[in-house]
């Protein structure tokens, strides 16, 4: 691409890189200036990453639970990409603690609390509610109903 810039003017260049794997990007942008023998070289470098998470269906059904019993469901999330991915579970687009308004029943609110990496939402808990998943690794998120 060749652009002519008037004296005292400026332009903005947008450079996009499509990440297919983790690699070190090292390239040079060459700028030729009329009247100069040598062009100006700008080194471009950085890390290009390709994170990829495999998350199963998130439809949970605890069915009928007896009083004073617990039930657990495991969700396994895999990182098949080449870069560490961090996650945090949010309820109603916010982190705990707080009170979540129950849209189905205006008279009921659900209390949300967090202690360490356990997120409690009413009678249900999720753990770990935040973590990092390294490339080629998986993490099991436990959902417990009481």
The CA distances from residue 21 to 45, 122, 141, in Å, are: 15, 41, 27
116 in any annotated domain: yes
C-alpha 130/C-alpha 116 separation (Å) is 9
64 in any annotated domain: yes
3 in any annotated domain: no
Side-chain-side CA neighbours of 26 within 13 Å: the count stands at: 2
Residue 74 has pLDDT above 80, yes or no: yes
Task: Identify the domain containing residue 120 by its residue range.
Answer: 53-145
Residue 16 has pLDDT above 50, yes or no: yes
Least confident of 9-13, 61-65, 68-72: 61-65
Q: What is the pLDDT of residue 9?
A: 86
Could you give the number of structural domains in the chain?
1
114 touches 88 (CB < 8 A) = no
**Is the omega angle on the peptide bond into residue 77 within 30 degrees of 0, that is, cis?**
no
89 in any annotated domain: yes
C-alpha 123/C-alpha 15 separation (Å) is 49
Asked whether the whole model's pTM tops 0.85, one would answer no
Query: What's the mean pLDDT in 76-94?
Result: 79
């Amino acid at each position: 691409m060749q652009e002519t810039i008037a004296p005292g003017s400026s332009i903005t260049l947008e450079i996009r890189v499509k990440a297919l794997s983790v690699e070190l990007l090292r390239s040079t942008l060459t700028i030729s200036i009329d009247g100069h023998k040598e062009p100006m070289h700008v080194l471009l470098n950085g890390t290009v990453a390709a994170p990829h998470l495999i998350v199963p269906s998130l439809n949970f059904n605890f069915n009928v639970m007896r009083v004073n019993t617990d039930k657990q469901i495991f969700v396994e999330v895999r990182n098949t990409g080449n870069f560490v991915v961090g996650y945090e579970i949010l309820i109603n687009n916010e982190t705990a603690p707080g009170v979540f308004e129950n849209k189905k029943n205006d008279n009921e609110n659900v209390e949300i609390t967090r202690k360490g990496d356990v997120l409690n939402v009413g009678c249900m808990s999720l753990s770990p509610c935040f973590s990092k998943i390294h490339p080629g690794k998986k993490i099991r998120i436990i959902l417990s109903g009481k």
